[in-house]
Amino acid sequence: MTTLRQEDLAALPADIKALVQDGVYALYSIRSPSAKYLLVTNRQERYFLSSSGAVVPKPSREVADSDIIDVVVFAGPASGDPTRINLR
């Protein structure tokens, strides 16, 4: 598990970071030439993010489970009573 500071991924809104921190959304570091992170929402929507946290176009090839490097969380206490989805 990789823990980032709240200041990391500056382009990612604070409310999205809170949802990741609470386990409602899942964030993964990935191996991809066009994206550094994969954000998965509670509705299974997938967003690819740059190293700054900005949304980038979907990679030209599908990201396989083997492309997932690690689960990413943000430092600090959780803000609510989460539904955990980022168990890997």
> Coil, helix or strand for 69?
strand
- Enumerate the domain spans of the chain: 2-74
Question: DSSP string covering 12-27, please?
Answer: S-HHHHHHHHTTSSEE
Distance of alpha carbon 68 from alpha carbon 83, whole angstroms: 22
Q: Give, for 49, the enclosing helix (H) or strand (E).
A: strand 46-49
pLDDT tens digits for range 10-47:
999 999 999 999 999 999 999 998 899 999 999 999 99
pTM recorded for the entire structure: 0.83
Instruction: Give the list of residues 6+ apart from residue 46 with CB closer than 8 angstroms, or none.
Output: 38, 39, 40, 58
Report pLDDT for 61: 81
